[in-house]
Every structure is written in structure tokens, then in C-alpha cells.
Amino acid sequence: MTNTNLTVYRLGENAIVLDCSKLFPEFSKLNIQTRIWELAKQCSKSLEFQDIVPGMNNLTLFLHDTTQVTFWLSVIEKRWHSTTGLNVSGPTIEIPVLYGREYGPDLDAVARRHQLDTTEVIRRHSAPEYTVLFLGFQPGFPYLDGLDSRLTTPRLSTPRLSIPAGSVGIGGSQTGIYPADAPGGWQLIGRTNISLLTPDLPATPTLLAPGYKVRFTPVTSLEFTS
């Protein structure tokens, strides 16, 4: 079912997708995301759902009972229109980063592309307070909003087969952190020694969550290894 540019539809036997991608630019990217987080939080209080997955411009809800999908299609749309996103916030997490050298092998290339020196790239990357839009690609991988537009850089034409856990990269207009070793094509500019995965805490298995704030703090080699 649709309402203006909002779409709510059934996916498979037991899932509902709320698609907000056509609401932009009528609504800002961040406002759309904060309303998605608000709706996800509301739904998490219901025992009807077995899983709730916020994405970029979308929310997927998995129901226990397949006979309730039709009912929830209309409920989810109504609940969306009652959200504002104004009261959604999270803690600020400081992430230490060692920029450049073997920890950020693409830092020099990013600097050359934008006609900046590496010190200025580091300053611009570490200056903003970022917002976690959603987690995706791999468990705990944060897509962060707030990158300085001067640092917008396309992904590598040929992805790397393996990227070390903790690598901090730029992919288009976003920046992110690889929680675990994985292939990927983001431009790597640094690395953190902070683990983004907390498997010993089942209630919060990842350090970051949608709505959290992130600040990158440049550190020295000595601080990184201590």
C-alpha cells in the first residue's frame, strides 16, 4: 500500500518493508532515518516481531505470525505518520584513529584527489560529530553521516580481497569502520584499535547502534599500540 511517496509492502511470508526512499528530498536524510529509528523502537516493545532491521531509508519487520501481516501493513503506515524523529538520540562514542601509513593506505591518494595535504584530510575527517545512520554490510558496520563534502571520494574501482578489522574508510559521501576482516572497496585512511563487536553482551552485541554519535580522535603510533 502507498501513501504519497511512502510505500509499505509485504516481503515473503512474514515480513513487512517500510520504504521511505522517495521521501527525499521532501524530508532530510537524517529526519527520515531518525523517524525510522523511532518507529523501530516502538515496534521493539511488541512481542509480535521476531526481528526488526532498520536500513538506509527503510525498515524491515519480521512477524512471528504470518496471519498478522495484512493487519500490520496498515498499522505500520499509521505509526510512521505519527513519528517525528525529534526525540531520538544516542550517546557519543569516541573512536581513536591512527591515520595513514600501513593503517590508512589510501590517505595519500585521497589527499591528492582533493588537492589537500594529509594533515588537512585528517583534520577535516576528525572534526565533525557523525551520526550512525544504520548498521549494514557486515554485523556492526556503521554507515556514518556528516562527512565533510570536500572529502567525498568514490570507492576503489577494484575492491580489496581483505581489509583488517578496525579500518576506517570513505565510501562516497559516507565514512565507516570495518568491525571485522572483510573484502571491501572503501578508501582506507586510518585504523582504530577499538573493537566494534561486543559478543559477550548479547543485549548489545555491537558498540554502535543507529542514532549514536561518533567522534574520531587522531592518535599517535605510541597511543595506538599502548
Order the strands of the 2-3 sheet from edge to edge.
Answer: 2-3, 6-11, 15-19, 58-63, 49-55
Query: Is residue 87 in some structural domain?
Result: no
Query: Is residue 176 in some structural domain?
Result: yes
Considering the domain architecture, whether residues 73 and 105 belong to the same structural domain is answered as no
User: Domain boundary at 42, 60, 82, which?
Assistant: 82
Instruction: Flag whether pLDDT at 48 surpasses 60.
Output: yes
pLDDT of residue 93: 97
**Residue with cell string 524530508:** 27
| Average pLDDT, rounded, for the chain | 93
Considering the domain architecture, whether residues 101 and 207 belong to the same structural domain is answered as yes
Dump pLDDT digits (tens) for 191-217.
Answer: 999 999 988 877 778 999 989 999 999
User: Domain boundary at 27, 60, 82, which?
Assistant: 82
Query: Is residue 117 in some structural domain?
Result: yes
pLDDT of residue 202: 74
Instruction: Flag whether pLDDT at 1 surpasses 70.
Output: no
Considering the domain architecture, whether residues 190 and 109 belong to the same structural domain is answered as yes
pLDDT of residue 3: 47
Residue range 92-103: average pLDDT? 97
pLDDT of residue 201: 77
Q: Which domain holds residue 105?
A: 92-225
pLDDT of residue 4: 66
